[in-house]
Structure 1
Amino acid sequence: MMLSVSIRHQFPGFTLDATFEAPPGVTALFGRSGSGKTSIVNAVAGLMRPDAGRIEVDGRLLSDSESGHFLPPHRRGMGYVFQEARLFPHLTVRQNLLYGGWFSGRRDRAGFARIVEMLGIGQLLNRRPLALSGGERQRVALGRAILSNPRLLLMDEPLAALDEARKAEILPYLERLRDETGLPILYVSHAPAEIARLASSIVLLEAGQVIAAGPATRILSDPATVPALGLREAGAIITARVEAHEADGLTRLGTSSGTVFLPRIDAEPQSTLRLRILAQDVMIALERPAGISALNLLPAVVRDLTETESGMLVRLDAGGETILARITRRSAYALALEPGKPVYAILKAVSVAPGSVGNMKRHFHST
C-alpha cells in the first residue's frame, strides 16, 4: 500500500510544503518540534484540510484541492494513536477495545484474541483506564486503533509522554505490530533511536519542508542528513542473520561483510536482525588489529569522507552495506583515508533492533 502526499498549507508565520511517498512498512516522519509532522498526519487523517494539494492511498483519493474533493475522517479508514491514549475512562479495557471493532462494523473474535495476545493486555481487560500505567494505556490505545480495521495506522509520537522505562516496555509491542499485522504505519517522532529501531523508511522535515526521504538504511547513514538527525545519533543500520548460539554465551551473527558476536540473543538460528551501529562507536584501522579485545572487526572500503565542525564522518562500504564512522580530522589525515581505500571497521558497541523476531533491544560493548 502506497501513501502519496503533496500538500501546502499556510499557518501564521509558518508554511507547510511537503511532498513524499510512504511505501508499505513503517514510514517515520522525523524532525524537530514545529517542523510540520503532526500537521501532515492530521491532513492524512482528515482532521486538517490543506490549502492546496492532493493525498491518496493506493489510488484512493482522500483529498484534492483542485477538484474540491475532501473525504471526511470517518470515511478514510484511518487508525489514529495520539501522544495521550485518549481512552474512554468510563469503559473497561475490553469495552474500549470492542469500541474499535464496533466503529468499523467488525465482529472478529479470533482477531480480537490475536490483538489482545500480541499486545500483552489479556490481564487488563476488566480494568478501567485510570487503573493502568502509561505504557498499558498506550497498548490499549494501539489495540483499539488496530481493531477498527484501518487501511493505514497513524501514530503521533505515541511514546513522547512516557518515561524511559515505559518506552522500553512498549517498543517490543510496536515491533510485533510492525512485523505481525502488515499494517502500513505513518509514525511521527523526534527520537532517532525510535526511528532507527522501527522505521523502514524515513521522511526528514525541517521548517515545513521535506529535506530528505527514502529507506531508513540510507537516510540514517547519509552524512548529508546528520545535521537534522544530530551528530550523536549519526550511524547506520545493517542486516544480520543469527548463525549459532556459542557455548561461551555469545551469539554468532553473519553479515554481508563478516561475523559479529553479541551476548546471547533470544532468537532462533536463521532469524534476521537489524544492527544499529552509531558512528561514534566505530574505529578505523588500516590492517586487521592483533592483540585487541574487540571481537567485531569487519573489512570495509572507504566510500567517502565528509568534514564536520568537530571532525570527520567516514562512510564505509562493508559488503554492500553502509557503516558510518566519526573520527577526528587528525586521524583521517594520519591514516591517509580516501575513497577506495581498504580498511577495517572496529565496532565498539552494537544495538540490536529486531527485524523479523520480537527481541528486546540489546546493547553490546565489544572492548
Structure 2
Amino acid sequence: MSVHVHITHTMGDFTLDAGFEVTAGVTAIFGRSGAGKTTLINAVAGLLRPDAGHVRIDGDTLFDASKRMFVPAHKRRMGYVFQDARLFPHLSVRQNLNYGARHAARGTLAGQYDPSFTEVVDLLGLPDLLTRAPHDLSGGEKQRVALGRALLSRPRMLLMDEPLAALDATRKDSILPYLEQLKSGAAGLPILYVSHALDEVARLADHLVVLSQGKVAASGPLFDVLSDPSLVPLLGVRQAGAVIYATVAAHNANGISTLNVDAGALELPGVQAPIGARVRLRVLAQDVILSRTRPEGLSSRNILPVTVRSIRTGAGPGAAIALNAGSDRLLARIPADAVEKLELSDGVACYAVINATSIAPQSIGR
C-alpha cells in the first residue's frame, strides 16, 4: 500500500501547501492548532476540493487538479472517525455498526481489509454494548463504536481526526490499547491519524508528518523525527523526546520490571505486558541526564552508554542533544552551558541516566 499526497489550498489568509508519501501503517499528522491538520485530512477524504495538487492511493488517482480529476468522498472508500463520534442517536450500537456494513463499498480491492462483524466487535471490546443506545455510552465507548462502524464499511484507508481529543485522561488511556490492537490486527490497513498530542502519536504512529503554519516541517519514520533535536521548538520543550523499543525480560517482586534495550537494560514500574513482549517506550528529553563518566551512588539504575550524535542550541537556556544508544536513539535536554562544561561534541561517548518514575505506564505502548 502506498499513499502519495500533495495539497495546496488557500482559505482566507491561510494557505496549506503540504505533501507526504507513506506506505502501510499509522501515519500521524502532528501540529499545533491552526497548522492545517484537519484541512489536509479532509482533502484526502474528499470533503474539500483543493486548489492544486494530487491524492493517490496504490496508483489510483483520487484527485489531480492538473487533470481536473476529483473523486467524490462517497466513492473514495475511506473510513472516517471524527473527534465527536457522530453516532446515530436513534439506533442501537448494533444498528450503528450494521449501518457501516450495509454501506460498505462493493467489490474487493487487492489487500483490502475485510473484517466480519464478529471480528470487529471482538477487536474493539463491544459485545456487552450491542443493545445499548449512544446516550448510554461513555465518550470512549462512543469512539470505539464509531471506529467499528468505519471498519465495517470495508475502507481502503482509515482517517482519524483527533479521535481522543474530547476524552479525559482516564477514558483516553482506556481506548489507546484498542487502537494498538487495531494497528496490529488490521492486515496492513493504512491509517492517517491527526493529533496534537505527542503521547498518542508516540504510542501509535509508524510515520510522522509535522505541520507548521501550513507546511511540512518534517516527515519520516517516527523514531527518526522524534529524536531530531532541531524539531524541539515545534514539538514543545516539555513534550520532546524519543521512542525506543524494548523487550520485557522479567517482572520482579518489588513491582519493578526489567526491560532489555539495545544498549543495556532498564528497570521500570507499572509495565503491563508479559515476559517476552515487545513494547515501545517514550523517553522525554527533559528526563535524560548526561554524564561523561559512569555515575555511582545514584537512586536510578537506568544508566545507558551513549554517543553524542548532534547538538542543537538556540536562543534559550537549553540545548538539545541527539544520542545513539546502541541502535536506538535518545534525546536529552540539558542547560546550554553544560555542553561546554561536559566538553560534549559529535561522537563523544558518555552515559545517559533515565529517571524510571518519569516513564509513566501511559508512555509504554504495545
Q: TM-score range by the shorter chain?
A: over 0.9
Partner AA of 2:46 in structure 1: G
Q: Quick one: structure 1 residues 184 and 351, their matched pair in 2 at CA, closer, same or farther if it must change by over 3 Å?
A: farther
Contact 1:245–1:264 under 8 Å retained in 2: no
The structure 2 residue matched to 1:334, chosen from 325, 332, 341, is 341
Is the partner of 2:66 in helix, strand or coil?
coil
The structure 2 residue matched to 1:156, chosen from 151, 157, 161, is 161
The structure 2 residue matched to 1:191, chosen from 176, 179, 197, is 197
Match of 1:111 in 2: 116
Partner AA of 1:130 in structure 2: H
The structure 1 residue matched to 2:174, chosen from 165, 169, 174, is 169
Structure 2: runs of 5 or more not aligned? 107-112
Normalized against structure 1, the TM-score is what? 0.93
Bigger mean CA offset, 269-278 vs 83-92: 269-278
Is the partner of 2:332 in helix, strand or coil?
strand
Contact 2:306–2:323 under 8 Å retained in 1: yes
Bigger mean CA offset, 111-120 vs 144-153: 111-120
CA distance in 2, matches of 1:219, 1:105: 36
Q: For 1:303-314, list aligned pairs within 5 A.
A: 303-308=309-314, 309-314=316-321
CA distance in 1, matches of 2:347, 2:67: 53
Partner AA of 2:161 in structure 1: D
CA distance in 2, matches of 1:204, 1:166: 26
Is the partner of 2:242 in helix, strand or coil?
strand
Partner AA of 2:348 in structure 1: K
Match of 1:360 in 2: none
Instruction: Measure how far apart 1:23 and its partner are.
Output: 2.1
Number of positions where the alignment pairs a residue of Structure 1 with one of Structure 2? 355
Instruction: Measure how far apart 1:183 and its partner are.
Output: 1.9
Deviations 1:32-56 (A, max 9, x none): 1111111111111111111111101
Match of 1:258 in 2: 264
Q: Quick one: structure 1 residues 204 and 264, their matched pair in 2 at CA, closer, same or farther if it must change by over 3 Å?
A: closer
Q: Quick one: structure 1 residues 110 and 9, their matched pair in 2 at CA, closer, same or farther if it must change by over 3 Å?
A: closer
CA distance in 1, matches of 2:279, 2:92: 37
Match of 2:206 in 1: 200
Q: For 1:21-36, list aligned pairs within 5 A.
A: 21-36=21-36
Match of 2:110 in 1: none
Match of 1:350 in 2: 359
Match of 1:74 in 2: 74
Partner AA of 1:282 in structure 2: V
Instruction: Measure how far apart 1:307 and its partner are.
Output: 1.0
Quick check: 1:137 aligned with 2:142?
yes
Is the partner of 2:359 in helix, strand or coil?
strand
Contact 1:277–1:351 under 8 Å retained in 2: no
Quick check: 1:318 aligned with 2:312?
no
CA distance in 2, matches of 1:196, 1:136: 22
Is the partner of 1:233 in helix, strand or coil?
coil
Match of 2:109 in 1: none
Partner AA of 1:44 in structure 2: V
Instruction: Measure how far apart 1:266 and its partner are.
Output: 3.1
Normalized against structure 2, the TM-score is what? 0.93
Instruction: Measure how far apart 1:105 and its partner are.
Output: 5.8
Partner AA of 1:315 in structure 2: A
Is the partner of 1:18 in helix, strand or coil?
strand
Bigger mean CA offset, 197-206 vs 174-183: 174-183
Deviations 1:240-270 (A, max 9, x none): 1122333443322111111111225332332
Contact 1:272–1:354 under 8 Å retained in 2: no
Contact 1:175–1:354 under 8 Å retained in 2: no
Note the aligned Cα RMSD (angstroms): 1.8
CA distance in 1, matches of 2:115, 2:310: 52
CA distance in 2, matches of 1:76, 1:15: 25
Partner AA of 1:273 in structure 2: V
Identical residues among aligned pairs (%): 52
Partner AA of 1:65 in structure 2: A
Instruction: Measure how far apart 1:22 and its partner are.
Output: 2.5
Deviations 1:109-140 (A, max 9, x none): 97211211221121111011111111111110
Q: Quick one: structure 1 residues 351 and 112, their matched pair in 2 at CA, closer, same or farther if it must change by over 3 Å?
A: same
Q: Quick one: structure 1 residues 125 and 31, their matched pair in 2 at CA, closer, same or farther if it must change by over 3 Å?
A: same
Partner AA of 2:94 in structure 1: R
Bigger mean CA offset, 25-34 vs 246-255: 246-255
Bigger mean CA offset, 246-255 vs 174-183: 246-255
CA distance in 2, matches of 1:305, 1:324: 10
Deviations 1:241-300 (A, max 9, x none): 122333443322111111111225332332211111001000111111122110110001
Structure 1: runs of 5 or more not aligned? 358-367
Is the partner of 2:148 in helix, strand or coil?
helix
CA distance in 2, matches of 1:262, 1:32: 31
Q: Quick one: structure 1 residues 183 and 288, their matched pair in 2 at CA, closer, same or farther if it must change by over 3 Å?
A: same
Contact 1:240–1:273 under 8 Å retained in 2: yes
The structure 1 residue matched to 2:240, chosen from 213, 234, 241, is 234
Contact 1:37–1:205 under 8 Å retained in 2: yes
Bigger mean CA offset, 73-82 vs 18-27: 18-27
Deviations 1:66-119 (A, max 9, x none): 11111111111100000100000110000000111110168x997211211221
